A = this chain, B = another copy of it.
Amino acid sequence: MFSATTEYALRVMAAMAMSPDALVPTATLAAITKVPSNYLAKVLQQLASAQLVTGRRGVRGGYKLARPSQEIKLLEIIHSVGNLQRIETCPLGLASHGPSLCPLHRTMDQAAATLIQLFEGVSLKSLVDDPLIPNKPLCESGTLTKLTMRGLATG
């Protein structure tokens, strides 16, 4: 349903949300998210363009969230790398349809509306901070992934 880029963007944002104050190297983020480094670097650039993350290049460089994770909704992350839009007018350009969609595009628009509502209602923070669900994103259960400038430590 979603592209690999969208899945990877959500993973890496979740990874950064677990250590919101640390500047985490791309290589570390790639290891945690299990995404190839080159691919992840491009995803991080898109997230930086959307002002969701800030980064610093160089030996001590890395990325961190640009805003607190409770202020970032999953929808914003999805929009930053992909396309999840309502259908506002006939995709075939039929003049007499215009904004009055046919049953096919009404159904597809309903699907988009449902997903937008779902992802608008979930904050990044809630993904990593849900006391009811024992599993944390990207971490084996019973361990807590700690992101540091030097790499990945679990314990």
Contact = CB atoms under 8 A, between A and B. Distances in A.
B127 A118 contact: no
B107 A115 contact: no
B103 A140 contact: no
Give this chain's copy count.
2
Given A1-B84, A97-B135, A127 B140 contact: no
A14 B102 CA distance: 11
Contact of A115 (B1, B127, B128, B130): B1
B104 A127 contact: yes
B135 A92 contact: no
B92 A34 contact: yes
Contacts of A115: 1, 111, 114-115
Contacts of A133: 102-103, 106
Contact of A126 (B101, B103, B138): B103
Nearest to A121: B107
B2 A140 contact: no
Given A7-B91, A140-B95, A111 B102 contact: no
Interface string A83-117: 11100000111111100111111111011101100
Interface of A: 1-2, 7, 10-11, 14, 33-34, 74, 83-85, 91-97, 100-108, 110-112, 114-115, 118-119, 122, 126-128, 130, 133-142
